[in-house]
Amino acid sequence: MSRLLFIIAIIAVVYWWFKSVRKQPPRQDEPPRAEDMVRCVRCGVHLPKNESFLVGGKYYCSEAHSRDQSGNTD
């Protein structure tokens, strides 16, 4: 009889193990989101949006270009 209990215990452990393994969520291999690229309206260089300077609804590559927008474009 103890042998039967042992077998049941093994089955229970295997069942529990199988269940816990299956329970794990599938690995999320989502590729990193493509960074939004913007273009400096002053010099035309492309750069990530989060590194750009947004002034007056326009993107600039640097603070200098965002400041130097008084119409004096040489």
- Contact positions vs Zn ion (CB under 5 A): 40, 42-43, 61, 65
From 14, 22, 16, 71, select the one nearest 42 (Cα to Cα). Answer: 71
In the bound state with Zn ion, the residue whose beta carbon lies nearer, of 18 and 67, is 67
Contacts of 11 (CB under 8 A, 6+ apart): none
- As measured in angstroms, the least distance from the Cβ of 52 to Zn ion is 9
- As measured in angstroms, the least distance from the Cβ of 43 to Zn ion is 3
- As measured in angstroms, the least distance from the Cβ of 65 to Zn ion is 4
In the bound state with Zn ion, the residue whose beta carbon lies nearer, of 32 and 56, is 56
Adjacent-strand bridge partners of 58 = 55
